[in-house]
Amino acid sequence: MANVVRAALVQATWTGATESMVAEHERHAREAARQGARIIGFQEVFNAPSFWEKYHFRPGDFGWPVFDTAVGKVGVSLCYDRHFPGGRRQLGLNGAQLVDNPSATHRGLSSHLWRLEQPAAAVANACFVAALNRVGQEEYGDDDFYGTRYFADPRGRFVGDTASDTAEELLVHDLDFDLIEAVRQQWAFYRDRRPDAYEGLVQP
């Protein structure tokens, strides 16, 4: 039997208040569940007026944990982390089948990279990547968030359509987790690693 996971990504516009954002995400979560989604991804700090992660988080020191969930092994790579390939590789080595990357990124800053880095990470680590971004214009910036959230499969392809770059949207797609092992057998990136040759990468 195929190991297919129906997954959802919520792309919501900032309403101006935490309470209404929570209510909005609850509404999307109920709709995703109605459509059969078994796992849901929300955007970075979806319930705050400030999206800068440095105001909410400190750099972690727990390594790159992977969580056993009802649908499989899930890891998290938060926003800026996506620019550093070592973290994604460690999540893959730790068994991640799906890596969530909740982000808050402006259009002028990295919209070109958005469609490149995440599919490349999915290929390099033979896993699914969920790319989540805020959407819409917010009061404290001249630039807008470009949404365009999507799932990338282990072959680096978009799973179905990407979300809008301007509007709120709920994205629901089926992810075939059997593809992970098929790709790992075909492209033996983990088997053929040469960590002894990369020692320079961990030097400050």
Residues 147 and 135: their CA atoms lie apart, in Å, by 4
Which pLDDT tens digit goes with each residue over 93-106?
A: 999 999 999 988 88
What per-residue confidence (pLDDT) applies to 140? 61
Decide: helix, strand or coil at residue 112.
helix
Return the bridge partners of 132, or none. Answer: 102
Give the range with max mean pLDDT: 21-25, 45-49, 138-142, 198-202: 21-25
In order of their start, the domains of the chain are 4-193 (3.60.110.10)
Which pLDDT tens digit goes with each residue over 174-184?
A: 999 999 999 99
Which pLDDT tens digit goes with each residue over 16-71?
A: 888 999 999 999 999 999 999 999 999 888 877 866 777 777 777 788 999 999 99
What per-residue confidence (pLDDT) applies to 143? 66
What percent of the chain clears pLDDT 90, i.e. is strictly above it?
68
Q: Nearest 5 degrees, angle CA 199-CA 202-CA 204?
A: 130
What per-residue confidence (pLDDT) applies to 173? 97
Residues 134 and 14: their CA atoms lie apart, in Å, by 8
Prediction pTM value: 0.92
Name the pLDDT band for 86 (thresholds 50, 70, 90).
Answer: very high
Quick check: 1 pLDDT over 60? no
